[in-house]
Chain A
Amino acid sequence: MDSTADPKGKRPLYQEDGLAYARAAAAAASATAAAAPDEEEAKPKPKPSSSSEEAKPEPEAEDQAEMPPLVLVAEDGVEVSISRRAARMSHMLRLLMEDSCADGPIPAPNVHSDILDLVVQYCEKHGPYYDPEASERARNPFPPFPVELTPTVSSIKPVTYVDPDPHGLKDWDKDFISLDNSTLFEVILAANYLNIEDLLDLGTTTVADMMRGKKPEEIREIFEIENDYTPEQEAELRKENAWAFED
């Protein structure tokens, strides 16, 4: 199905640019270490309120490139750098940057370096188009009760909602998330640890898609889940929620 001779096939051009950008930022940063501008620059620029729907022609790389990238340390000791713009996607890293605690190496003790590479790749790809204020508003505007809710996807959109995806991110995501199961779960855990909402949603919806429409036996087979119910327990369970097991 690949048209070009490029062995990566469906991977779009931007992927290489993203990592190259991060490495270039690291190189530039080491040269201009003394001239690092104020921490304020690292905060997301106040875009117009509807920015998530406008097509941004070019990501503004200039001011962010001057800030040194963050360094994350995986559980096996390997250091992975991530640009500040991409790091905004992680709530945890964003808080660290705002509190100016992000200058040294940041430990990610539960995450292997391969997984961390994948996560950074995702953030670098989505980073330029990410508006933290918009997603904050979408998730948590005025919580009336002090309840910790896990973020979910559902929100009602108008029926003819024009999904503005001018940068082809949805297709890139689809390629990105086609991983084997164990890697996928580790990415989900890493996204949870670093609190990257979008990647967490992407990973969990992918797993949900694998489970949708399948009977318990089929799900067990896909995910190699061992059925440790005794037949009596299983029968009792099915009776309890008989309406769901009508087949």
Chain B
Amino acid sequence: MAKQQRAGGADRLSALPDDMLTHILSHLCSDQAVRTSALSRRWRHVFTAVPVVDIVGAPQMTCPVSINHMVSGVLLSRDSTAPIRSFRVAGFRDDRPSASAILQWIVTALFASAETLDLTMGDQPICPNASTFYQSTAADFARQNFCTMPRRLFTRSAALRHLRLGNCELDLPEPEREQSLSLDTLETLSLKRINAPDHALQHLIAACPRLTELTIEECPTMKHISVALPLLRAFTLRCCHDADHVLVDAPSLRYLGYNGTVAGAYVLAFSTWGQIHTLAVDICAAVQANDSDKNRRFREFVERCTNLTTLHLSQHDKPPFYPYRAPQTLSGLAQLEFSGPFHIAALVNILQNTNNLQVLTLVIDLLDGDDEASTAAPKRLVASAVECFQCSLRRIHLVKYNGQDVQRRLAMFLLREAVRTDELQVTFGRSVGEGSETETLLVSEMVSWQQNLRTNIMFRHE
């Protein structure tokens, strides 16, 4: 920057060149970007070149504008020769755009060589972590009034790389017709609450040969899917409780995310489990701690992935469910994350098998310390010889630390035992105010427990 500008002139932001400013505005919602035209004369036309259309519902406005009005406002106000890189309209729950409006938006976006398209109409959850709720709302699902994604989206999108559709129906061309599905360039596909029959979903997924990431979420109509995707690297299935069989032939699969019940996990079938190196499991239904059958099945599910390097386990409801006998195949694990009401003893049990663990993340707001199983745990804690503490564990991250007794016990245990850790990061939960007395107390307490003075303890707020 020239020395003159550093000396005087306080408004450095406006002094940046246009392409920097459009880059900055591309991270904001479109209505916010349009409002920057009122900042000063220099900003009058900056927003018109922003290659992003991002309209997320419920903007901070006193009188809500209809979705049609907003989207056409954005599209008309921008420079029509400027390309659109990303087009997103999401979150308008009650406001359904007309089919012709949707067609118009899609045509405009695709013509402007959009690479990312996200149309998620509406936002009603189907499975808020309880299967009974799911059944009733899934039945209502088919009766809702959906928007339909036009055929044009699937036949002429030559540049589209990322597509997310939510709460809609699909108008797909029949396989035999001339203009077939053409989504050759698509790399990421995310389908949420799509009201389309099995064969339509399968047809759509099979028409994306270059797909690298696939997410299917809360689709009650999906029962049986079988696809072969040679380049697929990440697959996530969330809360599709009615699915019977999901077979994915994906030799390059590296990442698997599953959100659902334990029984539902067996719906998944892959050609190669050994290639998967990141597994993220989130169990949304409560499982009794002494339900050994479910525990065993869960353990077997995790054991199928023989080469894991990263594992995230999460559960929302009590009672805690993490099995006491750890899965066997975790010796290659480098990163582990636990979330939910787990026992310290279960954690230690799993750590005994993970000899090469390097990073441990624990989300401890629901840490369970009340029932008798955990009071028996301290004996186990002292007697155990957790090898990774001595050798490989480098970073520990405690999230949502509130200062509860059981959390402090866990922190003390980790600081005393994990002597080779380079870094312990503690993220305080909301209840610990920044700069409050509780915080100072907790901080000094943790520092006093520190066994290895070379461990760097860092504190942060959410």
Contacts and interface: CB of A to CB of B under 8 A. Distances in A.
Interface string A148-164: 01111111111111101
A7 interface: no
Contact of A145 (B69, B113, B214, B254): B113
B456 A216 contact: no
A160 B40 contact: no
B318 interface: no
A60 interface: no
B316 interface: no
Nearest to B434: A1
Interface in B169-226: 185, 187-188, 190, 192, 213-215, 217
B257 interface: yes
Contact of B257 (A49, A158, A205): A158
B253 to A, nearest CB: 10
Interface string A29-45: 00000000000000000
A181 B457 contact: no
A171 B69 CA distance: 40
Interface in B77-128: 77, 83, 85-86, 88, 113, 116, 118
Given A171-B425, A185-B13, A205-B27, A160 B236 contact: yes
A111 B14 CA distance: 18
A74 to B, nearest CB: 11
Interface string B48-91: 00011010000011110100011001000100000101101000
Interface of B: 1, 6, 10-16, 19-20, 22-29, 31-32, 34-41, 43-44, 51-52, 54, 60-63, 65, 69-70, 73, 77, 83, 85-86, 88, 113, 116, 118, 158-159, 161-164, 185, 187-188, 190, 192, 213-215, 217, 233-234, 236, 238, 252, 254-255, 257, 259, 277-278, 280, 282, 309-310, 312, 334-335, 358-359, 395, 422-423, 425, 434-435, 439, 443, 446-447, 456-460
A205 B20 CA distance: 11
Contact of A228 (B41, B164, B185): B41
> Can you list the 8 inter-chain pairs with the closest CB atoms, starting with the nearest?
A208-B27, A158-B215, A224-B10, A160-B257, A158-B236, A244-B34, A55-B334, A154-B86
Interface of A: 1-4, 6, 10, 12-13, 49-50, 53-55, 57, 110, 112, 141-142, 144-145, 147, 149-162, 164, 166, 168, 171, 181-182, 185-186, 188-189, 192, 200, 204-205, 207-209, 211-213, 215-216, 219-220, 223-229, 233-234, 237-238, 240-241, 243-247
B38 A238 contact: yes
B255 A159 contact: no
Given A154-B52, A155-B188, A241-B77, A219 B83 contact: no
A213 B31 CA distance: 10
Contacts of A142: 185
A108 B180 CA distance: 52
Contacts of B118: 156
Most buried by A among B37, B233, B359, B460: B37
Given A154-B116, A247-B61, A247-B62, A53 B255 contact: yes
Contacts of B116: 154-156
Nearest to B311: A162
B9 to A, nearest CB: 9
B204 to A, nearest CB: 16
21 contacts: A2-B459, A10-B460, A12-B456, A54-B277, A55-B334, A149-B51, A152-B23, A158-B190, A162-B310, A166-B335, A168-B395, A189-B16, A204-B20, A211-B28, A223-B12, A225-B13, A225-B39, A229-B40, A238-B38, A243-B31, A243-B69
Nearest to B282: A160
Contacts of B187: 141
Given A6-B456, A141-B185, A156-B188, 8 more contacts: A55-B334, A158-B214, A164-B278, A189-B1, A226-B40, A233-B41, A243-B69, A244-B34
